[in-house]
Structure 1
Amino acid sequence: MNPFRGQGLKSEHFNHEVNYIIDNFLVEQAITIYFAPPKQGKSVFSLGLTKYLYKNTDKIIQYFDFDNPLSALKERGASKIIEELLERLDYVHPETAAMTSHEVLKLLVEGAVGDAYRDYIFFFDSITDFVRDVQNEAMAKSFMNAMKRLRNAGATVILLHHTNKNEKNYQGAGVFKSAADNVYFMRQGSGTVEKALFLLDVEAGRFHVENSAFHLNKSTYELSIVAYDQAMIRPEEQSFIDSIKEVLKKNPDGIGQSQLLADIGKAKDDKLARINLSKYAGRFWEIKDGKGKLKLYFIL
């Protein structure tokens, strides 16, 4: 008798809804990878993301960090954050695990039965510490199959990875991208003294995901979501936008370009100012025809 007769998918198996833990960025019960060049703060961002997930979900978070030495974690102030989240965070490190990363992975896979991990979020920092040779297709596939086992048992899986030498793609075999559900390239934007800005650009998405941006408070590791388009605006451009909007608010009936530029201390032939007026038209202000050839600017 064929053992698979009657064992196929049935209607009840399709009751599963796609749930976003973070809208259009992090999907529950999915495998998410973000990769970045060196010194872009993957682990720092991940610690902030851990704190965010701790505060905004009821899930147990297990962070398997086989990349960062304890001295680096201490320097970043991670110990305070870990202590703060101890109730539902297990920050697993070689200093405490007393086993190799491969032994850790083996135990996790053995426990992936039914929906055993439905209440768990797993971080793996980083892929290169769990795969002996990321260029080896068979090893990479074996690792990603293990990640699928965890996902199929209900886990939300987050993987940190490195870029290759030219810093434009991730290290290793193609199966990392093809087997993951969502993949992002991570980089830092123009932050401030108090806050770092992280930009995550979609490289591959099995679900509907979008380019995303986050501010991270460097002292508290509080993570906040930022509109991606807003995050892409450079500080000097933001200052220009704020000045223009302030003038436009005072002129609800519209104002000509020359007077508008004069009111913010710019010459009417300032090339960069004129470029930015055009660049952000339709987003922060609109342009309408006035008398003759006059163009009037209005706040949106």
Structure 2
Amino acid sequence: MRSFYNGNGNERENTKYLNLNDIVTERYTESEERAIIASLYAPLVEEYPQRLKNLLAVIENYELKPQHFSMDYTRDAFKALMDFTRTHDEGKWNWATFREWCERNGHREDFETLRDLYDYDEAVGEEVFKFAVQIVKEFAVRRELWLKTLSLVADKKPDIEELFENLQKILEEAKREIEVLRSSKEEAKNSEIEELFLTIEDIENVKVDWLVQDFIPKNAITGITAKFATGKTTLVYGLLKTYILGHGHKVLYVDLDNPLTVIKKKLEDFGLREFVEKGELKILSRHKIGINARHEAWRKVKDWLLNQSEHFVVIIDSLKNFAKGYDINSDKEAEFLMSELKDLTAKHTVIYLHHIPKMLNPDMPFKNSGTILDNTDVAFFLETKKEARTFKLTRFKDRIPVKDKLEFYLGEDGTLEKALPEHLREAIRFVKAVFEEVEKGNNKKKALAKAVSEITGIGVNRCETLLEHYAGRYWEIKHGEHNAKIIEPIKSLEEAIKDLESRAYAKPVENQEVHGSKNTQTAEALENQELHSCMDIYNNRTSNYTPESDTLKFEEEIKAIQETLSTLLEDDEYVDLEVMKVYAPDREVAKDIAQDETLKSILLELYILREEGDLKGWEFLVEEVKEGKKSFSKALKEFRDMKDIDF
């Protein structure tokens, strides 16, 4: 019941009639509107900007506006979301920034609305989101057209011709609106399909940007695995000095392994302190904050990185400690962990260091969930020959093509140089000396061989043989006066060196000829002598103590290890021995530990720390076990007998 105005200035009271305006606006689209704004808010909470971009593209395609919403609170929240995304870069599309913006701009109530809807799990997938947008837009258009129609007859007796003329206009407008909606649907569908396909520009413009040529690609995840204490950190500092710092990149070093004394020494040895002072090398250390992938501080660091305009190289040393709180043997949790690093590659480059398993598979030197490796773009296994200051890297995973093998030599100043097998280093020294002497005018074979021998230390006869061997490749031998043989270069020194370096991992013909004497090893033997194989370096055992040689002592060792494990497992779920986690004091596990001096020393250290709360004064026991000078059981007994002594 309502009053009805008849158009003649009179009002008819209490007339029963159908109110068409109420009928049209009776159907609200509240549930669809709630789904839309909750779905737009969800990517801010989950920090998934690409998904938000996809949803905003749907909004733009259907030309959905705040006025199309039927409810005041959904309209206001939608307007707040649109204003925020329009005034902020994608790097700032996150929950914290949005909340702060709402506080500053009078949208606190809208923020609370969105948070409640998200908590009620009202966000929907992209397909349902599109459907909700269609419904809201279509119903808004329909409602607007009905209201325009009703306005023609609502308050006065209409002129019939004028009424039909106006209705015709509304009908034409309705057709146009319907056509817009139809084409929007079709365009959205076609656009979505087209975006799935590669364009010719995508294919033609593809290229790899390198941080280190053929080794570390930019905007990718590179993993370096190696045995405990092999020199992973030293290699990384060499890379920082040689290729990264001072070459247009900044560095965030997440060092969760090394004590401050080691960090200080590395910075001094490699001459990198100035980069810390200039802010180009930023270090996160466990001594200042126990950061890891689950830590709130990491969230802040990650947001900060993604908002940086400059390129950063992010070093994770090591992945195990960064993953604290995750079970990285679980595929699901490993996926979450690696997503933290993958997110960074949108702007930056990530390098992580990781330990190899105790019993190495030479074909797959990796531990924990295979999901970690699945999410790694390039992975290398590292071996070293410390006395030769040589690093050898062998590729075992590459999504981006890299070299199968790389070798670096660490110079006294901390600079990395390309390392080559000894026979090639010798050949390069020889060729350089020849070119230098010829440039001085010393080009007669006999005199040249003698001069080069004095420079390089290679025998005179061998120098003459090498001059003959490289004839036709780097120089020619011509006859001069008095039958003297003259050396004339046919290539530049740079070309000759490049040619020799390209043979670094081949078995050159010249080595079979020049090193053909019975007292000289072949190139292959030299390489094998120079560098340990994967199995050799990982399964290396000290020769000072072999418990299997005395069954009684070996059994005593195993029993002592089991007892120690049991004690440690009283407080924790597992015992972390760096390259393995022990969940139960099983005999087979104890047997494996008994055969590895490094694992025994770590176990002893953990036990001493538990009993004393401080390792001070007992380092000598740990070192003796590590060096094989003392059995684990003997060191354990010695500690227990003397632990009351005040050091």
Quickly name the TM-score band, shorter chain normalised: 0.5 to 0.7
Match of 2:244 in 1: 53
2:234 maps to a residue whose letter is V
Task: Please state whether the residue corresponding to 1:207 is helix, strand or coil.
Answer: coil
Residues of 2 paired with 1:88 and 1:77: CA distance?
A: 13
1:133 positional shift: 4.2
TM-score calculated relative to the size of structure 2: 0.35
- Picking from 141, 147, 158, the partner of 2:341 is 147
Q: 1:42 to 1:285 in 2, by over 3 A?
A: same
Contact 2:356 2:366 in 1 (8 A): yes
1:154 positional shift: 1.5
Q: 1:246 to 1:71 in 2, by over 3 A?
A: same
Residues of 1 paired with 2:476 and 2:386: CA distance?
A: 29
Matches within 5 A, 1:65-214: 65-78=255-268, 81-86=272-277, 87-97=279-289, 99-103=291-295, 106-107=298-299, 111=303, 116=307, 119=310, 120-131=312-323, 132-151=326-345, 153-167=346-360, 168=362, 169-172=364-367, 173-189=369-385, 196-210=389-403, 211-214=405-408
Cα deviation 1:238-264 (Å, max 9, x = unaligned): 6677789899999x9998xxxx99996
1:112 positional shift: 8.4
Contact 1:36 1:187 in 2 (8 A): yes
1:76 positional shift: 3.5
| More moved, 20-29 vs 163-172 | 163-172
1:200 maps to a residue whose letter is L
| More moved, 121-130 vs 66-75 | 66-75
Residues of 2 paired with 1:12 and 1:109: CA distance?
A: 38
The percentage of aligned residue pairs carrying the same residue is 21
Q: 1:161 to 1:108 in 2, by over 3 A?
A: farther
Contact 1:197 1:216 in 2 (8 A): yes
Contact 1:36 1:186 in 2 (8 A): yes
Q: Which has the higher contact order (CA 8 A, sep 6+)?
A: 1
- Picking from 421, 446, 454, the partner of 1:233 is 421
Matches within 5 A, 1:12-23: 14=202, 17-23=207-213
1:157 positional shift: 0.8
Q: Which has the larger radius of gyration?
A: 2
Q: 1:177 to 1:92 in 2, by over 3 A?
A: same
Q: 1:146 to 1:26 in 2, by over 3 A?
A: same
1:166 positional shift: 3.8
Cα deviation 1:174-197 (Å, max 9, x = unaligned): 2232221111122235875xxx33
1:232 maps to a residue whose letter is L
1:116 positional shift: 3.6
Task: Please state whether the residue corresponding to 1:107 is helix, strand or coil.
Answer: helix
Residues of 2 paired with 1:284 and 1:200: CA distance?
A: 30
Task: Please state whether the residue corresponding to 1:212 is helix, strand or coil.
Answer: strand
Cα deviation 1:41-100 (Å, max 9, x = unaligned): 11111122223312111x331110101111222343458624434321211111223544
Q: 1:283 to 1:204 in 2, by over 3 A?
A: farther
Task: Please state whether the residue corresponding to 2:358 is helix, strand or coil.
Answer: coil
CA RMSD of aligned residues (A): 4.7
Q: 1:38 to 1:108 in 2, by over 3 A?
A: same
1:150 maps to a residue whose letter is L
1:284 positional shift: 7.0
Any unmatched runs of 5+ in structure 1? 289-296
Contact 1:188 1:197 in 2 (8 A): yes
Task: Please state whether the residue corresponding to 1:76 is helix, strand or coil.
Answer: helix
Q: 1:239 to 1:20 in 2, by over 3 A?
A: closer
Residues of 1 paired with 2:212 and 2:394: CA distance?
A: 15
Pair 1:216 & 2:410 matched = yes
| More moved, 236-245 vs 89-98 | 236-245
Larger strand fraction of residues: 1
Residues of 1 paired with 2:276 and 2:471: CA distance?
A: 44
Match of 2:531 in 1: none
Residues of 2 paired with 1:77 and 1:60: CA distance?
A: 15
Residues of 1 paired with 2:290 and 2:224: CA distance?
A: 27
Residues of 1 paired with 2:301 and 2:309: CA distance?
A: 14
- Picking from 30, 34, 58, the partner of 2:220 is 30
| More moved, 208-217 vs 96-105 | 96-105
Any unmatched runs of 5+ in structure 2? 1-125, 131-187, 478-486, 492-647
2:383 maps to a residue whose letter is R
Larger helix fraction of residues: 2
Q: 1:243 to 1:124 in 2, by over 3 A?
A: same
Aligned length: 280
1:54 maps to a residue whose letter is L
